[in-house]
Amino acid sequence: MTAQKFFEQRFYALCAGDYSALYDSYHHDAPFRQQFSGHDAYIRFAQQHLGFVEIKNWHCLRQRVIDETQLEVLLVMEIATDTGDQLFYELALLIKTDTGWRYHSAQKLGVDDYSGLPDKIDFHHFDSVASKIRF
Predicted local distance difference test score (pLDDT) of residue 83: 86
Predicted local distance difference test score (pLDDT) of residue 79: 92
Predicted local distance difference test score (pLDDT) of residue 132: 65
Instruction: Tell me the residue ranges of DSSP E strands in the chain.
Output: 54-67, 70-81, 84-97, 100-110
Which domains occur in the chain, in start order? 3-127 (3.10.450.50)
Predicted local distance difference test score (pLDDT) of residue 11: 92
Phi-psi region of 100 (alpha: psi -120 to 50; beta: other; left: phi over 0): left
Question: b/e for 21-49, b at 16 or more Cβ within 10 A?
Answer: ebbebbbeebebbeebeeeeebeeebeee
Each residue's pLDDT expressed in tens, for the chain with a length of 135 residues? 899 999 999 999 999 999 999 999 999 999 999 999 999 999 999 999 888 888 999 999 999 999 999 999 999 999 998 888 999 999 999 999 999 999 999 999 998 889 899 889 999 999 887 676 677
